[in-house]
């Protein structure tokens, strides 16, 4: 007696995993990204969140029902597709799908088509439809790279002896200057959305030694630049018994780890985005270190040579064009340290060799990206910190708990903050931070 095998249902898989199923029939669940029709041949492109794949359906090769279902199917209709995986060297992902079955989950109506078509749209049009725009291959690739940057950043600290401690988001006082605070009504009292977790993780660093925080931060920035968001994500380490040199070493190893992780895990996405991979492959510690004074000399020279429109005034913080110029002079991030104390935050330790300078560092990403990290050694003397709070006209009462950290077992300590969106912009090679976060909040955008 002969036994006939029951036809088994094709395994459910994802586009990213198709390589494991070459020659097999599989079931994909996703959306119709695009459809090219050429007489008796249909070339649907499907996406499923892990990638895209081109399907092929020949009128003679599929049932009439399947052919009719696919023909004229509207963009972004949701589908379940069965097909055989075929290796194809010319295909972007290395595979094509010979379509066998199609089930439409929801058909986008002809009279109300998906608004984002493969043609070029302006950025404002797309930002207004950000809730749909995230479906495009490029935007999805950016979000995957973002996720890997965040994962690798946390991993670096998790595997190097740091404890994650989460600071509050609702805070009673400023950390990074009073001009960019977002006020919140807190049961009739004024509170603010946090600008940085730093002050709080200085406390947990003195409890746990090496800590980090990772969360959303807020700045009521009136700046309309390609680098500024009003809500952004920051990862911040804080280390007890650490000085500026130790901090710069931490910063370069941290960034190198992130870039290497992205190259190892998300190279295909970088290619979709069009990133020049060789530029990222060059990123290895150590990074060049440049005193503020030496950076100013470079800016003066650049002005003389006609590369900058404005002369740089010694003593100022760098503006965007200055950072752009400086960071385009190096093939890896450059660490600019010892800025004039007068233009930096109240909590920064003065340079013991010349208190006019702060023991701080900004890490400027190459290719003109500019600041991605800001950090410093912190004032550890009670008296000096108290003077600083007075000089900056900050409310002394609100900072008593912060002064306690200098009253009880103060130690030299240091930390930095890296803005995730700035890092994503650089690593993906994007010209604006608005594409680096699922829903950007800027001076003139709160929607959707």
User: What is the binding site for ligand 4AD (CB under 6 A)?
Assistant: 175-176, 196, 198, 219, 221, 228-229, 232, 234, 236, 371-375, 415-419, 421-422, 433
Residue closer to ligand 4AD (CB basis): 30 or 197: 197
Stretch that binds Mg ion, among 2-10, 225-233, 319-327, 369-377 (CB under 5 A): 369-377
Interhelix angle for 244-265 vs 420-428, to 10°?
50
Shortest distance, position 414 Cβ to ligand 4AD, whole Å? 8
Number of residue whose CB is nearest Mg ion = 374
Under the binding rule (CB under 5 A), the answer on residue 374 touching Mg ion is: yes
Distance CA 34, CA 84 (A): 19
Q: Closer to ligand 4AD at the Cβ: 70 or 235?
A: 235
Nearer to ligand 4AD, 225 or 261 (CB): 225
Rounded to a whole number of angstroms, the minimum distance from the CB of residue 83 to ligand 4AD is 43
Among residues 18 and 335, whose Cβ is nearest to ligand 4AD? 335
Nearer to Mg ion, 237 or 374 (CB): 374
- Choosing among ligand 4AD, Mg ion, none, which partner's interface includes residue 219 (Cβ < 5 to 8 Å by kind)? ligand 4AD
Question: Which partner from the list ligand 4AD, Mg ion, none does 415 bind, CB cut-off 5 to 8 Å by kind?
Answer: ligand 4AD
What is the nearest approach in angstroms of Mg ion to the Cβ of residue 331? Answer: 23
If binding is defined by CB under 5 A, does position 415 make contact with Mg ion?
Answer: no
Residue-wise over 387-416: b if at least 16 C-beta within 10 A, else e?
A: ebbeeeebeeeebeebeebbeeebebbbbb
Quote the least distance from Cβ 292 to ligand 4AD, whole Å: 15
Judged by beta carbon distances under 5 to 8 A according to partner kind, the member of Mg ion, ligand 4AD, none in contact with residue 419 is: ligand 4AD
Shortest distance (Å) from residue 381 CB to Mg ion: 23
Minimum distance from CB of 239 to ligand 4AD (Å)? 11
Interface stretch with Mg ion, choices 13-21, 146-154, 201-209, 367-375 (CB under 5 A): 367-375
Q: How far is the CB of 195 from ligand 4AD (least distance, A)?
A: 6
Choose from Mg ion, ligand 4AD, none: what does 422 bind? Cβ within 5-8 Å by kind. Answer: ligand 4AD
Q: Per rule CB under 5 A, is residue 370 in the interface with Mg ion? A: no
Using the minimum distance from each CB to Mg ion, give the nearer residue, 51 or 374. 374
| CB of 234 or CB of 379, closer to Mg ion | 234
- Binding positions for Mg ion, rule: CB under 5 A: 374
């Amino acid at each position: 007696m002969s036994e006939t095998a029951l036809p088994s249902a094709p395994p459910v898989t994802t586009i990213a995993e198709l390589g494991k199923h070459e020659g097999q029939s599989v079931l994909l669940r996703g959306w119709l990204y695009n459809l090219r029709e050429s007489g008796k041949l249909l070339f649907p492109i499907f996406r499923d969140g892990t990638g895209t794949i081109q399907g092929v359906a020949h009128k003679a090769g599929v049932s009439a029902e399947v052919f009719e279902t696919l023909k004229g199917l509207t963009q972004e209709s949701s589908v379940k597709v069965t097909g055989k995986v075929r290796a194809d060297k010319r295909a972007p992902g290395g595979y094509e799908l010979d379509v066998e079955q199609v089930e439409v989950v929801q058909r986008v109506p002809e009279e109300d088509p998906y608004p984002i078509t493969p043609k070029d749209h302006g950025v404002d049009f797309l930002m207004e439809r950000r809730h749909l725009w995230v479906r495009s291959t490029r935007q999805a690739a950016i979000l995957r790279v973002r996720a890997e940057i965040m994962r690798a950043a946390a991993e670096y600290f998790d595997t190097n002896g740091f404890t994650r401690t989460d600071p509050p988001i609702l805070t009673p006082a400023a950390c990074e200057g009073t001009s960019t605070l977002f006020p919140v009504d807190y049961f009739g009292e004024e509170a603010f959305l946090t600008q940085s977790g730093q002050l709080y993780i200085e406390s947990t660093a003195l409890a746990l030694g090496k800590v980090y925080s990772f969360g959303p931060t807020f700045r009521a920035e009136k700046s309309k630049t390609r680098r500024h968001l009003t809500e952004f994500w920051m990862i911040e380490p804080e280390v007890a018994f650490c000085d500026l040199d130790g901090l710069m070493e931490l910063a370069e190893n941290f960034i190198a780890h992130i870039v290497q992780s992205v190259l190892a895990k998300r190279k295909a996405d970088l290619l979709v985005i069009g990133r020049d991979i060789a530029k990222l492959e060059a990123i290895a510690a150590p990074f060049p270190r440049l005193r503020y004074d030496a950076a100013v000399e470079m800016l003066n020279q650049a002005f003389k040579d006609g590369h900058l429109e404005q002369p740089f005034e010694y003593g100022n913080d760098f503006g965007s064009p200055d950072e752009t110029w400086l960071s385009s002079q190096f093939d890896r991030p450059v660490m600019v340290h010892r800025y004039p104390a007068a233009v930096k935050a109240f909590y920064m330790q003065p340079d013991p060799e010349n208190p006019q300078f702060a023991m701080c560092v900004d890490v400027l990403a190459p290719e003109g990206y500019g600041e991605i990290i800001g950090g410093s050694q912190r004032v550890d003397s009670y008296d000096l910190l108290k003077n600083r709070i007075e000089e900056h006209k900050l409310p002394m009462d609100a900072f008593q708990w912060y002064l306690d950290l200098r009253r009880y077992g103060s130690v030299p300590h240091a930390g930095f903050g890296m803005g995730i969106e700035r890092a994503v912009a650089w690593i993906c090679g994007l010209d604006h931070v608005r594409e680096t976060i699922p829903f950007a909040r800027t001076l003139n955008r709160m929607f959707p």
